[in-house]
């Protein structure tokens, strides 16, 4: 599937509180918990509503990442458009939300928290979303400290562990800078067998075929090839260090 489809155009919440308020507007519908005026009943959100929220969150979080170091570069905008394959029919609407998000004082934390709750039963999609947000941060050739801090905060909102964050972060570094143990989520004193098991598990989880089978957006599947390559390279490096055949 694609992230976009009819999702953006079919989102009625845009008129409620401006583009950033749209996410809460989309959720409002029939899932507002009237016994708790400030909260939503997440369990009653439909798959379509989740798709709406997911698509909008990608736009907003990408804009916040791009803006976190003070300026949104042309390379970051191009990377966002290319990475998420925004159809021409949706470009104007997506650009409008992206522009609003990058200048708005509305914090990304609430958006990230919301996504973390909505997809708490699908850790893999949260990992892949974070992986793709790294792609946006890298677009200008330099991932700044402020961008790393925002990415780390988003990871916490997704309830990903420090090990998960370091695994994703290191998988995106070049070969000389990455720590192969962190790429595999392993410790240096793990046994050869334990490390092999972690490598097997990661290659199965992040293999494009598995992501497709789980209905992951094609945009995420494309990025998974780079991640899988980093996982295999890390295991090869560890085998070489340890003299494993």
pLDDT tens-digit series, residues 124-177: 889 988 988 888 888 777 788 888 999 999 999 999 999 999 999 999 888 778
Q: Among residues of the chain, what percentage have pLDDT more than 90? A: 27
Strand partners, 50: none
What was the pLDDT predicted at 240? 93
Asked whether 49 and 40 are in contact (CB, 8 A), the reply is no
pLDDT surpassing 70 at residue 94:
yes
What was the pLDDT predicted at 23? 55
**Residue whose token pair is 């390279």:** 233
What CA–CA distance (Å, rounded) separates 136 from 60? 12
At 170-196, the pLDDT tens digits run 998 887 788 999 999 999 999 999 999
**Who's near 36: CB < 8 A, 6+ residues apart?**
none
What was the pLDDT predicted at 155? 96
First to last CA, the chain: 40
Strand partners, 40: 32
pLDDT surpassing 80 at residue 120:
yes
What was the pLDDT predicted at 25? 52
What was the pLDDT predicted at 48? 67
Confidence grade of residue 15 (pLDDT, cut at 50, 70, 90) = very low
CATH of 175-245, one of 1.25.10, 1.10.287, 1.10.1060, 3.30.70: 1.10.287
**Who's near 71: CB < 8 A, 6+ residues apart?**
none
- Sequential DSSP letters for 181-231: HHHTT--TTS-HHHHHHHHHHHHHHT-HHHHHHTT--HHHHHHHHHHHHHH
**Residue whose token pair is 């998974």:** 224
At 30-62, the pLDDT tens digits run 444 444 444 555 566 666 667 767 777 888 888
Token reading at 72: 């949104």
- Assign residue 185 a region (left: φ > 0; alpha: ψ between -120 and 50; beta: otherwise): left
Token reading at 19: 């583009």
Alpha helix locations (H) across 139-161?
145-157
Where do the CATH 1.10.287 domains begin and end in the chain? 175-245
């Amino acid at each position: 599937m694609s992230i976009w489809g009819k999702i953006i155009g079919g989102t009625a919440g845009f008129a409620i509180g401006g583009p950033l308020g749209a996410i809460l507007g989309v959720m409002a519908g029939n899932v507002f918990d009237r016994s708790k005026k400030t909260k939503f009943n997440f369990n009653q959100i439909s798959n379509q509503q989740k798709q709406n929220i997911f698509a909008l969150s990608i736009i907003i979080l990408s804009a916040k990442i791009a803006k976190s170091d003070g300026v949104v570069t042309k390379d970051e905008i191009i990377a966002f458009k290319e990475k998420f394959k925004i159809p021409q029919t949706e470009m104007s609407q997506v650009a409008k939300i992206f522009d609003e998000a990058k200048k708005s004082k509305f914090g990304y934390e609430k958006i990230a928290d919301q996504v973390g709750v909505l997809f708490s039963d699908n850790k893999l999609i949260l990992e892949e979303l974070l992986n793709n947000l790294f792609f946006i941060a890298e677009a200008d050739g330099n991932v700044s400290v402020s961008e790393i801090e925002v990415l780390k905060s988003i990871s916490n909102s997704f309830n990903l562990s420090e090990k998960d964050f370091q695994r994703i972060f290191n998988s995106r570094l070049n070969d000389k800078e990455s720590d192969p143990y962190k790429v595999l989520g392993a410790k240096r004193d793990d046994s050869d067998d334990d490390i092999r098991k972690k490598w097997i598990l990661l290659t199965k989880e992040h293999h494009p075929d598995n992501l497709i089978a789980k209905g992951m957006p094609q945009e995420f599947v494309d990025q998974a090839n780079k991640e899988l390559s980093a996982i295999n390279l890390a295991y090869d490096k560890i085998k070489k260090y340890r003299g494993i055949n």
